[in-house]
Homo-oligomer: A and B are copies of this chain.
Amino acid sequence: MSVEASREKFKTSLTQKGLRVTSQRLAIFEAAFARKEHFTAEQLLKHAKAIDDSVSRATVYRTLPLMVESHVLREVDIGSGEKFYLPDTGANTQVAQVVCVDCDKIFEISAPFMEWYGSTVSLKLGLKPVSQRLQVSAQCMAFRQHDRCPNHAKN
């Protein structure tokens, strides 16, 4: 899904909820879609402020759930204290994350079998599956030798 389509999706979602399309919300949207990797609320604030200095931390935290509900962003919690976000391309309902323990980089991989497995297991428990998430922790073999990762910069 293109950035343009996502922006429209977000605007439409806001309007349908009776919410307003404000400059701050748009600035946060643009900042989010300019990112190339997973980002945190704090990083998003920094970049949104660069676009529109009037954006505050509170508004970022209030806007993120709206974008997730609108399916323009996905939320990823790798259990590191803070949540990560990334654009929801629509094609990644069945993805898993591989987190490098050396550089904290998050790789998204396709995991088409997950949905089937989640359903099978949930139904066995008498539950209806809502979502599933697979997270793999791994280490950079090649860079263990150099004692550090190539992408060790944390932005």
Contact = CB atoms under 8 A, between A and B. Distances in A.
A111 interface: yes
Contact of A127 (B100, B113, B126): B100
Number of copies: 2
Contacts of A133: 134-136
A134 B137 contact: no
A56 to B, nearest CB: 23
Interface in A107-147: 107, 109, 111, 113-114, 117-118, 121-122, 124-142
B134 A129 contact: no
A98 interface: yes
A108 to B, nearest CB: 11
A122 B141 CA distance: 10
Given A111-B121, A121-B136, A125-B138, 17 more contacts: A77-B77, A96-B121, A100-B127, A107-B125, A109-B124, A113-B113, A114-B134, A117-B134, A127-B140, A127-B141, A128-B141, A129-B138, A131-B136, A131-B137, A133-B134, A133-B135, A133-B136
21 contacts: A77-B77, A98-B125, A98-B127, A100-B127, A109-B125, A118-B134, A118-B136, A118-B138, A122-B138, A125-B138, A126-B141, A127-B139, A127-B140, A128-B139, A128-B140, A131-B136, A132-B135, A132-B136, A132-B137, A133-B134, A133-B136
